[in-house]
A and B are shown apart, each in its own frame.
Chain A
């Protein structure tokens, strides 16, 4: 049981980063379907940085910058040129998949240098790591996982407890009103889309640098799409994202531990998606305002249209 929960955290970490990244983007009123593309760009950039510099920190930073650059294309198209967000996001996914395969040809059959692998070795957090039951599951991971915990908590505080976060929520609900109250809408959108892209890039890097420290083409294998569903599943709440990402991570690997019980693998593969649909139905039945998506989501903001 403990070993399963431990593996669940690892499987959920790339989902967590991607979910938080997409959440930031959606909180600025933009729907970015390019998560998979940004993850792959981040994965290849992170691998490249780690491979050439032998430095784990630079690998993460490189992946984040690359993910942000991918998001910059999207931000320019949708914020400055006000292009259709769905089309731009899909284009970013196609672009990211292509460019990661292209750059990845440099790393075919290559393994991450040991220096990078050891820099992401498991670290037990003093005191917390000794807690009964919770300690071995949550607090004996690599740094990347801990960054994930902190990131979710920081975003939770940012969204609901800071002025900037509240401004951001105002933009996602009603950009005209936010603009009228003196908030620089486009600047906010740019900053948060870029930061969201950086988190997606880090999500990809977790796979290529830490989890499977070796270059494999298309390493994300569709996790970016699960992250988009997760944002809806956790109702745009970063703290919920912690639970949601680890739950989905767990669902994706629980099949390997249950196969002797003659439970159909196909059924288990369906579970994450079935759960998402159920949550969507439940929240739409309750018609709760808190669970609703941001009102301005997916709508390009034209100042003249006010």
Chain B
């Protein structure tokens, strides 16, 4: 009897402990967030945006804001939205890509949200379902392909910025070997590797890009090891696709060079980092929320590029090679006026066969199903 009683008491204790451990952080962030948004909303009221005070916008994030990458970039967009329109925003971090997200969306709608941004692929089906229940709310889904009457999807052509970062890397390398720490063999990642390689080849035809798959989005120590493996193999510039700065640190440690991703990573590897393809969601968020306020919102599929400012190349640091700024500026101008499409022919695959003929260009749907490497990439797609 005594044993059973003790066991019961302990179980209660454990459950309460576990509950504290899990709940405290979210409650705290929620609390912080609400006070923060309230103050910002009051500040906004002093400016010309006072009319938007009663508009609430919800954001659902797949990771913590502190990932310093994907979610951080979206949160910067949220802050920009608050600053520009003076709307009230609410957000929730680390929401799993399961049915839980439906509950989160309903919670946000209960709190008055009229626009909801869900920033991960896995939320798509749940958002589709909830959007049917709340026809008066605008739903925005990032990186998917489904739309409904009141649900739009949006993404950015980050490959354009990767092409530019390839130019910087191609000019910097002395061994003509660049290491690319890749996440998973999916079209999004492959497209990035190819764009990066084409950018590097545009300034340095001899360059080779070695690819190593880590099968992780988020394991800093392992991603660092992958970068070290390529540095040992003769690479002198490292690029990456994961959400951590592990690969940057490998380059820093060896006194070599690196290209980041998602956000400006210069603080993480000040002696190695040259630039990074970055996301800039703010302007799009402002545009869409403004459309909802004006009553002009319409469902759409959006895949914007550098011309909209949704993707960009972070400012070059002093580690970048001489002349890189001029080359990047020239290529940027070409991308903006449409004379450089990145994936325009002739493009050859690793075996040397011409896949996209001279004068032709890949269509959006071909790019979204990219499953082959261009010539100059060393590595296999499994």
Contact = CB atoms under 8 A, between A and B. Distances in A.
Contact of A219 (B22, B221, B226): B221
B232 interface: yes
Contacts of A10: 225
A7 interface: yes
A4 interface: yes
Contacts of A77: 10, 13-14
| Chain A binding surface SS class | helix
Interface string A81-110: 111100110010011111101101101110
Interface stretch (B60-68, B96-104, B277-285): B60-68
Nearest to B64: A217
Nearest to B220: A212
Contact of A216 (B28, B215, B220, B233): B220
Contacts of A219: 220-221
B11 A252 contact: no
A83 B7 contact: yes
B218 to A, nearest CB: 7
A44 B212 CA distance: 29
A81 B10 contact: yes
B64 A7 contact: no
B354 interface: no
B379 interface: yes
A102 B24 contact: yes
Interface size range on A against B:
35 or more
Nearest to B379: A259
A256 to B, nearest CB: 4
A262 interface: yes
A269 B225 contact: no
A257 B233 contact: yes
Given A221-B219, A256-B226, A99 B21 contact: yes
B221 A269 contact: no
Given A214-B268, A219-B221, 15 more contacts: A7-B232, A82-B6, A97-B21, A99-B21, A102-B25, A109-B72, A214-B249, A216-B218, A221-B222, A256-B225, A259-B212, A260-B379, A260-B380, A265-B215, A265-B382
Interface of B: 3, 6-7, 9-11, 13-15, 17-18, 20-22, 24-25, 28-29, 63-68, 72, 94, 211-216, 218-222, 224-226, 228-230, 232-233, 244-246, 249, 267-268, 378-380, 382
Interface of A: 3-4, 7, 10-11, 14, 73, 77, 81-84, 87-88, 91, 94-99, 101-102, 104-105, 107-109, 111, 207, 211-219, 221, 252-253, 256-257, 259-260, 262, 264-266, 269, 302
